A and B are shown apart, each in its own frame.
Chain A
């Protein structure tokens, strides 16, 4: 007995209807999510744009909202990021290379991998607590830029490790075999092939990690970023030999998100305007960096046709 065509057609109509309803629900959800992002940006822009000016970037914070600026904040962010990058990038890439190219499949490697996955899921403020205990007090580094840099560096380390590994994994085994077959050592293969071919993916990961670090507030608050700084760290470049100074590493600091936090926590509305302006700067930096990372990833994937 074959199914009746009419019955089939009715059933199809009903199922297609349910299908279509879900498509609309999905579309609505998507629109809702994107519109919220848009609302956030528009609200920030409406409030904060009037405050954005050259003075805003060149002034220190002050009791008077109109005169207050983010100079110490963005310089602080720059200094901290420099430290973060110098910690996280080499450590992360080396760890990623080891885990993908050298590590044998034994229980110890599994523990390392499990550990990295776990680190990625730990709340960021916990890193601040650890840094407070170890860097600030135990090691006596104080509430300084170097502490902040180390804290954030360790926080974003898992991101760099994971993206490095993914980038390396994308390289087909045939390339490795070709290199070994020509008599290369492992390090030569890594040095000449693996790292260069995965550089796009690694770069993407680094940018995303740094952008995440720039936006991080909680661990730095715990470590003791000051919310009111009216001075700049020591300059890294000095007049006499050896022309480079590391004194700035021990200086107290503030960063952009903390400045925004400080201003938004004040009851006076004028400071909220400043907070909005800082928010715009933060958004431009983080979204900008992420957008660049996405473009690099896209371009790199198009170029690398295995």
Chain B
């Protein structure tokens, strides 16, 4: 692998089990800055579990136990450490979920939520951030006249773009996308894929996806996971045209999964 890329994070030896069922078995993975890394694999391979480790979502539920480290660069802090408050991790790493889940509030309040909960009070700052995030998400022109209207009145594709804007408003260091287009129709999916490709210049992105075509279209690096292990990681070009591992090839060509 090339040494000229800058890392944003590094996953080191993650073991994760739910009760006594092991889900992740010793995963190691680099995350390159300002690039899109895709996690692919069949159902149950642990990709969503791994994604949710990045923002400590598992801490919300019991009983889980996990070991290992995720180092956030450039300071190389282990964000999985018990000494670090999960709230801080979630303030620095954002997430967009599979099913669009805007709050039953206005569009403005949705996007501003991440800022208001962390105590930002300056109205001018918030307004400016909301506009910037909505522009980044490609929604600004559509909603600029109705920022006070209810967010739940929008279409599925628009709602998901809103959720992306909402996650971007807090300037996250990494943006996690958990199958963001699987609940959307093909046209909205196309729009969002374009959006994601543009966003990578501003923020590092990790995306979990079932859709191999999507992964090959938009990602720079791809990690193929199977039954809790990382089978292969490389530049997407290579994974999708000439994978080294036979399991990877079998999955890509549709022999299983």
Contacts and interface: CB of A to CB of B under 8 A. Distances in A.
A and B touch in the complex (CB under 8 A): yes
Interface of A: 1-3, 8-9, 11-12, 14-16
Given A11-B118, A11-B119, A2 B87 contact: no
Interface string B91-106: 1100000000000000
Contacts of A1: 171
A8 B173 contact: no
Nearest to B86: A12
Contacts of B91: 3, 8, 12
B59 interface: no
A8 B118 contact: yes
A2 B171 contact: yes
A9 B88 contact: yes
A235 B173 CA distance: 82
Nearest to B85: A12
A14 B117 CA distance: 12
Nearest to B115: A3
B89 to A, nearest CB: 10
Most chain A CB inside 10 Å of its own CB: which residue of B87, B92, B170, B173: B87
Contacts of B173: 2
Nearest to A9: B88
Q: Is the interface of B mostly helix, strand, loop or mixed?
A: loop
B87 A12 contact: yes
B128 to A, nearest CB: 11
Contacts of A3: 91, 118, 170-171
B14 to A, nearest CB: 24
10 contacts: A3-B91, A3-B118, A3-B170, A8-B92, A12-B85, A12-B88, A12-B91, A15-B87, A15-B117, A16-B87
A230 to B, nearest CB: 60
A128 B171 CA distance: 65
Interface in B141-160: none
A16 B85 contact: yes
Contacts of B85: 12, 16
Contacts of A11: 118-119
Contacts of A12: 85, 87-88, 91
A9 B84 CA distance: 10
Contacts of A16: 85, 87
A8 B117 CA distance: 11
- The list of the 5 closest CB pairs from A to B, nearest first, reads A11-B119, A12-B87, A12-B85, A12-B88, A2-B171
Nearest to A2: B171
A3 B171 CA distance: 8
Nearest to B118: A11
B198 to A, nearest CB: 20
A9 to B, nearest CB: 7
A254 B119 CA distance: 64
B60 to A, nearest CB: 13
A12 B173 CA distance: 18
A172 to B, nearest CB: 22
B113 to A, nearest CB: 14
A11 B170 CA distance: 14
A270 B181 CA distance: 75
Contacts of B92: 8
Contacts of B119: 11, 14-15
A8 B87 CA distance: 10
Contacts of B118: 3, 8, 11
A8 B173 CA distance: 14
A1 B91 CA distance: 14
Contacts of B87: 12, 15-16
Contacts of B117: 15
B147 to A, nearest CB: 23
A18 to B, nearest CB: 11
Given A2-B171, A15-B119, 16 more contacts: A3-B91, A3-B118, A3-B171, A8-B88, A8-B91, A8-B92, A8-B118, A9-B88, A11-B118, A11-B119, A12-B85, A12-B88, A12-B91, A15-B87, A15-B117, A16-B87
Interface string B149-190: 000000000000000000000110100000000000000000
Nearest to A1: B171
